Amino acid sequence: MSEKKELGLAVIGCGVVGRIRATLAKDFPGIGWIGLSDMNETVGKKLKDDINADFYTNDFRELITRPEVDAVIIATSTWAHVEPTLIAIEQGHKLFIEKPLATDARQSLEILSAIEEANIDAVVGYTQRFRRRFLVVKERIQTGQIGEFNCAVVRAFMNRMAPTGETRLTQDRRFLTPMVVSGTHSLDMCFWLMGEAAKPVSIYARSRDVIMKDLGTKDATFGLFTMENGAMFSMNICWALPKEWPGAVYGLEIGIVGTEGVIDIEDTHRDVILATENPQGPAYVPFGQTKGLTEVERNVDFLTSFPPGDIFDGELWGPMREETNSWFGRIYSGKSTPHATAAEAHRNLMMTMAMDLSAKRGLEVKLPIGPDELMSGLEE
């Protein structure tokens, strides 16, 4: 039996998530070469030194086209995924793309089409699929424990640190909405759990912009999807809670009702609470965006509420570690994994943007809707 060839990995983007995944790659026995790229040389070279990577450049084109590369992680800023992803597809590399594929539905479809035409193994970063509680729920639903899907409801609460940080990274606020940026995670979770029953034919949504209006975004978006068989899915998110709110990013409640049972998921992280005289700092600080955020004092913290996982002894443990190492196993040995596919990621973007379009018009939007019609409606 011949030994498997060690893989060469390119990590494009060395911020928080890129650093996490590159650090895990360093310890994976099937990866023999690591190259890094980031526009910020200080950030990129620091990560190169920290993990003893083999190569660094501030030009992602140079890295992706190097002969050592077999697989690529796209961990750039949200609006900078398209060009490096398309170049990696041209090179035939296996891909891990942080969500979304693109912030424009037309570009998202372009990427999906290129992936499918080239028959590329590409997955997208929806980390919460790798949490134990959601994996067990998926298993129970797909083995028929609650019967056929009838209705579902999601409530997602977030403090305003995430949108405050995101608005400082771009002047284009058109698609900087709670659904497109953050609600996509809980929407993906529910569509994944529903499985084949998730065939929406319409969406009606409303948004509110009182608290976050000056930042050019919405406070909340609530919507109701109707499925092909008449089943209903209520998707609701608010990311305008006070900065002092203890939860780091998400607090979720999900209820899924079937014809033979129900699954009720309480994921607000209030089971492990720290209260202390020592300020805990902000719940969420986007990489490099500390101005105006770190002065927030929080003396109560919902532990285990940071989506990627938790730090113990200097290392990250939790779903992002599971997700990343599982992908390494996928590309090295071909094992099956629960990662989101590019098709599912494109669907998620289309559904979140359809919610925004419905809210903008104050009218129901029929589904499916094409990217051109969707984008022209949002841009008008």
Query: 295 falls in which pLDDT band (50, 70, 90)?
Result: low
**Which of 85-89, 176-180, 369-373 is least confident?**
176-180
Query: 171 falls in which pLDDT band (50, 70, 90)?
Result: low
**Which of 118-132, 170-184, 348-362 is least confident?**
170-184
Residue 6: strand, helix, or coil: coil
Among all chains, which residue has been given the structure tokens 């209520």?
Answer: 234
Average pLDDT estimate for 98-124: 97
Q: Is 281 left (phi over 0), alpha (psi -120 to 50) or beta?
A: left
> How many CB atoms are closer than 10 A to CB 170?
16
- Residues of the chain with pLDDT > 90, as a percent, come to 79
Q: Give whole-number Cα distances, 73 to 111, 127, 193, 320, 334, in Å.
A: 15, 14, 26, 14, 17
Model pLDDT for residues 304-351, shown as the tens digit of each residue:
888 899 889 988 999 999 999 999 999 999 999 999 999 999 999 999
**Which of 99-108, 203-212, 281-290 is least confident?**
281-290
Q: CA-CA distance, 331 to 344, in Å (whole number)? A: 19
- Check residue 286 and give its pLDDT: 45
Model pLDDT for residues 230-259, shown as the tens digit of each residue:
999 999 999 999 888 887 678 999 999 999
Quick check: 173 pLDDT over 70? no
Model pLDDT for residues 129-149, shown as the tens digit of each residue:
999 999 999 999 999 999 999
- Check residue 287 and give its pLDDT: 47
Locate 49 and state its tokens: 């030194």
**Which of 19-33, 109-123, 132-146, 166-180 is least confident?**
166-180
Among all chains, which residue has been given the structure tokens 């033979």?
Answer: 260
Q: Please give the residue that has the higher pLDDT: either 156 or 278.
A: 156
* C-beta of residue 172 within 8 angstroms of C-beta of residue 102: no
Q: CA-CA distance, 349 to 90, in Å (whole number)? A: 23
Walk me through the domains of the chain, giving residue ranges and CATH numbers: 7-120 (3.40.50.720), 132-308 (3.30.360.10)
- Check residue 292 and give its pLDDT: 47
Quick check: 192 pLDDT over 50? yes
Quick check: 164 pLDDT over 80? no
